Amino acid sequence: MVKITLFGLAGTGTSTIGKMIASTCGYDFFSGGLMFRDMAKQKNMDLYEFSELCAKDKKYDIELDKKIKQYGIDNDNFVFESRICWYFIPDSIKIKLSCDDNIRFERISKRDQKDLGYVITKTKERELSERDRYMRYYGLEDYDSNLHFDIVVDTSYKTEDEILRILVRFIESYQKKRSRI
């Protein structure tokens, strides 16, 4: 029985790598980011507008966080990608993806087909807002600290296949260690 949580700031590759891990291991994949985007769509807002709303009204964050926590309690054999899912699913294998900021911003700009300057400004604003909200709601001043994770992989200059190989080997090794305990 495996629970894997995947953390990374926007543009680090969490959705892509999360789906690849899930497919390779035969697990389900869930994305807090996609759930957040769906909530924004339901409000007819873009991601950045919805993030601003969440900064003013915590009910949206709390609703999503409760869903993540409950999913972790009720299920096994999954990969869940979200900023603080590692916090809500403490019995998971906790993976962090990191990446050079300039590369992250270029990836987001390309993915969303938005101007790079706009992406840089809005992504930084969103990340500051998230940092503030996680501190206010959960006391997580250092939610992105490497100390919270079992493995940290820099995705800046690695291919998706290289990252997948590193993580699948780690997951298999981690499972073997757990089964011996």
Domain range for 61:
3-180
Would you state the pLDDT for residue 175?
84
Cα 22 from Cα 78, distance rounded (Å): 7
Would you state the pLDDT for residue 42?
92
Per the structure, the count of domains in the chain is: 1
Would you state the pLDDT for residue 99?
98
Would you state the pLDDT for residue 34?
83
Cα 54 from Cα 98, distance rounded (Å): 25
Burial 61-93 (b: 16+ CB within 10 A, else e): beebbeebeebbeeeeebbbbbbbbbbbbeebb
Tens digits of pLDDT across the chain (181 residues): 899 999 999 999 999 999 999 999 999 999 988 888 888 899 999 878 888 888 889 898 898 899 899 999 999 999 999 999 999 999 999 999 999 999 999 999 999 999 999 999 999 998 999 999 999 999 999 999 999 999 999 999 999 999 999 999 999 998 888 776 5
What CATH number does the domain containing 60 carry? 3.40.50.300
Residues in the chain: 181
DSSP 75: -
Would you state the pLDDT for residue 166?
98
Would you state the pLDDT for residue 181?
56
Condensed to tens digits (0 to 9), the pLDDT of residues 136-168 reads 999 999 999 999 999 999 999 999 999 999 999
